[in-house]
Amino acid sequence: MTTLIHPLQARYDAIWDASSEALRAGQIDCDPRLAAGPDPRRGLTVIARPDRLLADRFGRLLDRLGAIEPHQYRHPLADMHVTILSLFTVCEDYHGQLARREDYRAAVREAVRDAPAFDIEFRGLTASRGAVLAQGFPRDGALDALRERLRAQLRARGLDAALDARYKLVTAHATLLRFMRPLGDPARFAAALADLRDAPLGTMRVEQVELALNDWYMSSGSLQNIESFGLA
């Protein structure tokens, strides 16, 4: 029997292939902002939250990695999320965009109207030189369709100047851990990540999305839920 490979697998593999040797050598990108206290930057993002069961599985996985590298930044369970779309990228000078908050809210409300709920299967980890990610695989085209509807509504309202400014989001990953200090045992840590490349993690049913005013890390302590929207 032939096993079908999800189209996103190549994306996650490319991230791993570009960084795995560097990780083994301890050549990582530490985020200095993580040690500097609360993040003053803000953006507007549409996100979805994993249920408690999946978040707990992420937490147990982080316990395993934390036993090797206890001094990195692990995202708290309350902060776990999948980004549906960044409406404008987190920045320090966000007040101009935020002045049109109600226009952004209207764009999201229209985009999600009659949009169907969907599933994301999480299987395995990948890692860049800056973070460890859980690999998410949407089971149908509903997530891509919702993203395109959001982009269309933003363009219709002239809110697309900063849309996809860094890259066009196509994956469905969840960021679990970020590097904030040099690795103590890079070879062991990289080996643990390699062992988890295909580990089954669970499925996330997305029946609601949230429009959030957030910092870079989606920290629950600073996040403001502007509105939540149910999917059909």
User: Where are the chain's structural domains?
Assistant: 9-25+35-230
At the second CATH level, the architecture of 9-25+35-230 is Alpha-Beta Complex (3.90)
Q: What's the rounded mean pLDDT across residues 27-36? A: 94
Q: What is the pLDDT of residues 116-148, one digit of tens each?
A: 999 999 999 999 999 999 999 999 999 999 999
Residue 27 Rama label (left phi>0; alpha psi -120 to 50; beta):
beta
Confidence of residue 165 (pLDDT cuts 50, 70, 90): low
Rounded to whole angstroms, the Cα distance separating 44 from 209 reads 13
pLDDT for res 203 = 97
- Tell me: pLDDT of 2 over 70: no
| Residue 1 DSSP class | -
What is the Cα–Cα distance from 32 to 36, expressed in whole angstroms?
Answer: 7
- On the question of pLDDT at 9 being above 90, the answer is yes
pLDDT band with cut points at 50, 70 and 90 for residue 1? very low
Among 129, 120, 155, 125, smallest CA distance to 231 is for 120
151 pLDDT exceeds 90? yes
- When the pLDDT of each residue in the chain is averaged and rounded to a whole number, the result is 95
Give the pLDDT band of residue 162 (cuts 50, 70, 90): confident
pLDDT for position 5: 86
Q: Is the pLDDT confidence value at 15 over 60?
A: yes
* Number of Cβ within a 10 Å radius of residue 39: 17
pTM beyond 0.85: the answer is yes
For residues 59-84, average pLDDT: 97
Tell me the average pLDDT across 217-230.
Answer: 96
CA 67 – CA 128 distance, rounded (Å): 20
